[in-house]
Amino acid sequence: MPMRDLGSRQRIPWLLVRLTRLVTDSPDRLWAGLWILGIGALWAWDAAFLNRPAYLRLQAAFVNTMAGATLTVLFTLVLGWSAGLVLDSLSRRSSRIPYLLLTFTLSLIRSLPQIVGILIGYVLLTIFIERDIVRSTYLHLIWTALLISVFTFLELTDLLRERIDQYRKTDFFNAMLCCGIPERRIINVDVLWKNSLAHIFQKLIATFGMAIFLQCSIDFIISVGLSMDVSLSNFPPTLGSLLASLDSKQDILAIGVALGRPGYAGELLFRHLQGISVAFLIVFSLVCMYKISNGIVRRYRL
């Protein structure tokens, strides 16, 4: 019903109904909207009350973190999709050796805790930086994203293989095969693109959240330093590295102070804005990604 047909007294229930529908039917959209709103509100607040150098650092850290997470999603998609197709193809060959070799290699990656694997990768990255192989911020971000995606793509691979195996049993898969339609096309177009897009999208949203978490965790951990010549200051700023800086740590400690002295709480939003903003961006983004991912599951009944 168009809004213009409604009087102001009717608009409130109408809005409530729309809002209730949004919450119940599309929680992913609701949380995506909340995420953008939350980030926007923080941006406006920081623009008004955070000092200029800190504001620029925070901005760069946020952009780098989001760019890193987006690149991770991209690499995860490419690696996960390729591995899924290659595994599926090898599993149908008469010779089992290539399939077993690839499965063994992937199992090795799977057996390594993500955070340990990425730390080892950071050591490698440090060597590259020391030898001047990796110089620019872009290359840093690309390497970091590639590194994280090596430890996240297997979840996508598992999902794709599960979908392919499920659809192999259906009549439409076999009916298309019998008509001579190439199996690659059936898998890529009919199974994965047309029937699994929501599943894949949900997994990539979860990967995005996971990438933020892993990147921040690792940056925080390596704030102790990786080598004599390379430290966090050689890396592009991210939310993790910014959280690990002395200023931010003091800001976070101030939360504890405010818990003991409630009158001090107001100061958190003005005097300790850098650390509070970084912590908020990390936690709020992770919560929103989790909610968006679950919302997709609910909306598409995955």
The answer to whether 26 touches 211, Cβ cutoff 8 Å, is no
22 part of the interface to other proteins, by CB under 8 A: no
170 part of the interface to other proteins, by CB under 8 A: yes
Q: Which residues contact 302 (CB under 8 A, 6 or more apart)?
A: 198, 199, 202, 296
Residue 51: exposure state from Cβ atoms within 10 A (0-12, 13-18, ≥19): exposed
Q: What is the signed CA dihedral for 296, 299, 300, 302, rounded to 10 degrees?
A: 70
Report the residue number, 71 or 191, with the smaller CB distance to other proteins. Answer: 191
Residue 187's closest CA among 111, 74, 82? 82
185 part of the interface to other proteins, by CB under 8 A: yes
- Tell me, residue by residue from 91 to 110, as one string, x for binding to other proteins by CB under 8 A and - for no binding: -x-x----------------
The answer to whether 293 touches 202, Cβ cutoff 8 Å, is yes
As a residue count, the chain comes to 302
The DSSP call for residue 181 is -
Report the residue number, 138 or 172, with the smaller CB distance to other proteins. Answer: 172
Please identify which residue in the block is written with the tokens 């998609």.
77
Report the residue number, 66 or 187, with the smaller CB distance to other proteins. Answer: 187
Report the residue number, 82 or 170, with the smaller CB distance to other proteins. Answer: 170
177 part of the interface to other proteins, by CB under 8 A: yes
Using the rule CB under 8 A, give the single segment among 65-73, 79-87, 183-191, 234-242 that binds other proteins: 183-191
Taking CB under 8 A as the criterion, the residue among 24, 82, 174, 250 binding other proteins is: 174
Report the residue number, 108 or 178, with the smaller CB distance to other proteins. Answer: 178
Residue 223's closest CA among 199, 202, 251, 244? 244
Q: Which residues contact 11 (CB under 8 A, 6 or more apart)?
A: 3
194 part of the interface to other proteins, by CB under 8 A: yes
Residue 283: exposure state from Cβ atoms within 10 A (0-12, 13-18, ≥19): exposed
Using the rule CB under 8 A, give the single segment among 6-14, 71-79, 120-128, 185-193 that binds other proteins: 185-193
Report the residue number, 8 or 94, with the smaller CB distance to other proteins. Answer: 94
Taking CB under 8 A as the criterion, the residue among 130, 155, 183, 267 binding other proteins is: 183
3 part of the interface to other proteins, by CB under 8 A: no
Using the rule CB under 8 A, give the single segment among 14-22, 113-121, 187-195, 198-206 that binds other proteins: 187-195
Enumerate binding residues for other proteins (CB under 8 A): 92, 94, 170-172, 174-183, 185-186, 189-190, 194-195
